[in-house]
A and B are shown apart, each in its own frame.
Chain A
Amino acid sequence: MNTYIKITINQILIELTYKFNFILSIISNVIQLMTGIFVWNSIYASNVTIEKYSFSEIVIYLILTTATGLLFSFEPIFRLGRMIHNGKLNEMLVRPVSILGESFAYYTGKKSIFIFIYTMLILIFGINAIEKQLLQIIMLLVVNYIMFFMLISLISTISFWIIEIWPLRPILNAFYMLLGGIYFPLDLLPDEMYRIIKYNPFSIVGHFTTRVIQGNYDSRVIKTLTLVSILYAIIFFILYKRIFKKGLKKYEGGGN
């Protein structure tokens, strides 16, 4: 356990070293947020009635989903790809450490500042919900974090078969933005469509968790979301283990 804590701490130190990168990622997400608010402001100014959401609720929703975008990103997918491509994976393979564990510790270290920001935003905008359902919300957030990590780790195993996977980035971003409700609340979609996509992993992490923090769901719904998230995490973990093992057999240790 100490190994993984040290890996996390090292990554935090690295993130703090490169202040410009951190500030730039905040700025780019703020720009995205402002764009979203501008668009919705225009929609509301044109006298369109959106029954489920007031303008202030939409703004809070966008702030929280933007923060979600900072925290839940696809970086580990491309990290494994880089390590396979340049042979750095060899270094991991000869060490007595779990590759998945190392990746999780690295990811957590890399996201530690955003975890702090996300927590602050939850405390600011979700104080009502937290007062009523603190433990359930914490449980949901932790499970979501693990589930999302397992999802992107599973996707990352494709790197053993596809040399250059950077073309996947815009595709994954598009899926996440749309299916996660980052651009707009998913329950604004037609009922039929919403029913089909509502429990996808991106939606649980983005749309649903945001609505939970906004206090729109009761304990029963939070429990359901947590269970679905746990189920996803287990499935992704099992698939990851199997595919990673197959991938290692294909791996040629290139780069050295």
Chain B
Amino acid sequence: MEKKVIECSNLNYSYTSYEKKQGLKGTLADFFKREKIQIDAIKDINLTIYEGEIVGLLGSNGAGKTTLIKLLTGILEKKSGEISCLGSNPFNRRKEYLKNIGVLFGQKSQLIWDLPPMDTLYMLKEMYNVSTSVFEENIKELFNILDLHQWKDTPVRKLSLGQKTKFDLVCTLFYSPKIVFLDEPTIGLDINSQNQIHKFLLEVNKKKKTTIILTSHYIKDIEKLAERVVIISKGEKKEDCSIADLSNKFKVKNSYIIESKNGELPFLQDEEMIVSQINDLTFKITLFSGTLKSINLDLANILSIREDTPNLEDILSEIFLEV
């Protein structure tokens, strides 16, 4: 039986904001009385995540992804509904829960600015109660994979963004947490480093059954890592399925992409179809009926035929635009 590590039912979170009036007159009016507005950041979210899953949390800017992560990590308190992570309410901040989660906010480094990364790591070693042998073994492995050995004694303020991000990842993973929340983990990293991190996270997930919840605006992160995507829009859960199921859902029915060798349509067009040319060699064919009758197919001229399945980026664009 798969173990549930995160369970949310009818989860709601809202906060109060203030409307700021324009101009000097408006600012003076606000000085005496401000208009309050209630923002529903998370609305009735039901979500279950099992041990060992890698879940991509997606949504446009301001959709509520980071708010959801903050609720799951105990930074924010829910307004209503139920939330349970590793059997406890995250907002209670129980040490047993906090010792088993790792959180990486991609745009906020947790390294001590004035000291080398090793000083932060030694402090975290004590905080998470990691034995010296396990610490040294894990750090060595992580430094090898992420190529960090030569920078470990350099003050953090002298490191590049990519180097800081890698060290932040080390800080998040070295104590083998059960759940890892990664908010934009590959931001600022070069392509090789991104690949290294993808490979490493997949390995950690496989070996230690670490549950990973990942948000990223780099589609590659999601495609390479996530088995399942949860799409949030205006605080609500819009989709929750595997990437394959999502692709199938958005697949354009009776539509095919044909690549020809000579730039010509490899069959005769008739009234049962619409043909549009995407580029010099590629055509999009949409059939009205779903079946192709006699068309004098020139097989030798065909490079490839496939169903018109949009890529994840296009699917997400469509979903985000719909709202």
Interface residue ranges, A against B (CB under 8 Å): 2-3, 5-7, 10, 13-14, 17-18, 87-88, 90-91, 93-97, 248-249, 251-253, 255-256
Contacts and interface: CB of A to CB of B under 8 A. Distances in A.
Nearest to A10: B119
B114 interface: yes
B114 A18 contact: yes
B101 A94 contact: yes
Given A3-B127, A90-B75, A251-B76, A256 B105 contact: yes
Contacts of A253: 67, 70, 75-76
B122 interface: yes
Contacts of A18: 114
A13 B115 contact: yes
A92 to B, nearest CB: 10
B286 interface: no
Contact of A90 (B70, B99, B115, B128): B70
B112 A10 contact: yes
A256 B123 contact: no
Contacts, number: 68
Nearest to A13: B115
Contacts of B75: 90, 93-94, 251, 253
27 contacts: A2-B126, A5-B126, A6-B126, A7-B123, A10-B112, A10-B115, A10-B119, A13-B115, A14-B114, A14-B115, A17-B114, A88-B108, A90-B70, A93-B73, A94-B73, A94-B74, A94-B101, A95-B124, A96-B99, A96-B127, A249-B77, A251-B75, A251-B76, A253-B67, A253-B76, A256-B66, A256-B105
B180 to A, nearest CB: 11
A94 to B, nearest CB: 4
A17 B114 CA distance: 8
Contacts of A10: 112, 115, 119, 123
A88 B107 CA distance: 11
Interface of B: 15, 66-67, 70, 73-77, 93, 95, 98-99, 101, 103, 105, 107-108, 110, 112, 114-115, 119, 122-124, 126-128, 183
Contact of B110 (A6, A14, A91): A91
B288 to A, nearest CB: 50
Most A CB atoms within 10 A — which of B70, B73, B123, B127? B123
Contacts of B101: 94
A6 B123 CA distance: 6
Nearest to B93: A93
B155 to A, nearest CB: 8
Contact of B128 (A17, A96, A248): A96
Nearest to B95: A96
Nearest to B101: A94
Nearest to B172: A94
Contacts of B124: 95
Contacts of B73: 93-94
A88 B105 CA distance: 10
Contacts of B74: 93-94
A14 B119 CA distance: 11
Given A95-B98, A252-B15, 14 more contacts: A3-B123, A5-B126, A13-B114, A14-B112, A14-B115, A91-B108, A93-B73, A93-B74, A94-B75, A94-B98, A95-B124, A249-B77, A253-B67, A256-B105
A14 B155 CA distance: 11
Please list the 3 inter-chain residue pairs (A to B) with the smallest Cβ-Cβ separation, ordered nearest first: A96-B98, A2-B126, A3-B126
Given A3-B127, A256-B108, A13 B119 contact: yes
Nearest to A5: B126
Given A17-B114, A256-B66, A87 B108 contact: yes
